[in-house]
Amino acid sequence: MDNQKPLSGYRIIELATFVAAPACARILGDWGADVIKVESPDGDAWRTYGQTMLMPANEDENPAWEIANANKRAIALDLKKTEGQKVLHDLLQTADVFITNNRIEALKKLNLDYESLKARYPRLVYGIVTGFGETGPDVNQPGFDTVAFWGRSGFLADLVPDGAYPVYSPAAFGDLAVGTILCGGISAALLKREKTGKGDKVSISLFGTSVWLAGLMITSTQSRYQNKYPKDRLEGNPMVIPYRTKDKEWIFLSVLDFDRYWPALCKIIEREDLLADDRFKTRLDMLANRAALIPVLEEAFATKDIAEWVTRLRAADIVHVRLQHFKDIENDQQAWANDYIYENTYANGAKAVLPGSPIRWAEGGSLPEQSSPLLGEHTQELLKELGYTQAQIAELKSQQVAKMR
């Protein structure tokens, strides 16, 4: 146990599948908590998902599984059986936090809903992830992040011009956002418990998170303001869109202070004549005449390779970025320098570059110290910690209540 980490000494029980809730538990494990993942004897379906993205998904190498499940121990229980439920409650008696993403109806059938556990474990912090929230007409609808986060919020339909094919949603992006935010809620509830002695329920949904993250677009497009989405190319802010360079790369500008940086930008692109153009005198003038300015900037940026533009923009302190591809990150020196990515070695000796969770601590380190668990890898270990005898463990195995290695 690393006592330097902020959650050292806390125990998390995770009864969850796929990504959002497990990602939260993984980060809490990165922060020092003892995380125990409870799976069915068949295992979490996410164990095999990596195959759909051309990655191995087996016991020797499973990078997709690793992202949301490093720094955990795993126990496999059949919760349809009374004996399996008893083991889970034995674990909950030792827990500080319970995290789940099971549907509310299913939790109630197992007496694992918040009200049932609150009465039995008043100090327990209960974290739950739902698709659409805990009330309303869609409360019982299933919702992966593709549907509840991307589809319902407007992201997929409104980030492309009218008539174009909707954006292909990035896999598990919304899940990881939800899991990361939930960590803050759970940590706050633990802090509150230190003051009051009482646990609490922390609830988050994929849909609710997407509404928060899309807040500026959702607010500005309401009938009162009528900002338009989707936007065509010539309807964008000329200072905050990408431009194609001579070598067919893309440079993305982010000039938010127009008055300060417009003269410098004009000099960089060798179009200082634009400074005398009344159409672009002020920020509001520029926005009113955006359809005229964008083609001018497109023509200018098409005259030089991206390396030249990066050098010029950096010298003028103008915020910009070369649009990278996902595949570029494994060689991004800035990512390596800050431990945003790390090299993971698998049981078969293969190595892969994986993302690290985003929070950094001055003390205690940040990289995963324990690879993701195999199905039932720690079942015997955890049962022994709970005081089960070898005979009792053998009985649970023979009755197929617990799966172990």
* Residue at 34: amino acid letter: D
d(CA 370, CA 357): 14
Of 227, 251, 256, 259, nearest in space to 239 by CA: 256
CA distance 132 to 223: 24
Pairing of strands 97-100, 73-77: unpaired
Distance CA(356)–CA(67), nearest Å, equals: 8
Are 43 and 16 contacting, i.e. CB atoms less than 8 angstroms apart?
no
Q: Which residue has the tokens 């992040």?
A: 145
- Nearest in space to 126 (alpha carbons), one of 90, 87, 92, 76: 92
Q: Cα–Cα distance between 333 and 319 in angstroms, integer?
A: 19
Beta bridge partners of 402: 77
Active site includes 332? no
Distance in angstroms (rounded) separating the CA atoms of residues 43 and 25: 17
Q: Which of the following is catalytic: 78, 113, 175, 200?
A: 175
Q: Please, are residues 68 and 29 in contact by the beta-carbon 8 Å criterion?
A: no
Instruction: Give yes or no for a cis peptide into 230 (omega within 30° of 0).
Output: yes
**In one letter, which amino acid is 94?**
T
Task: Report how far residue 190's alpha carbon sits from residue 97's, in angstroms, rounded to the nearest whole number.
Answer: 8
Helix/strand/coil for 253: strand
Burial class (CB in 10 A: 0-12, 13-18, 19+), 317: exposed
Those residues whose C-beta lies under 8 Å from the C-beta of residue 61, and which sit 6 or more positions away, are: 346, 347, 348, 350, 352
Which residues are catalytic, by number? Answer: 175
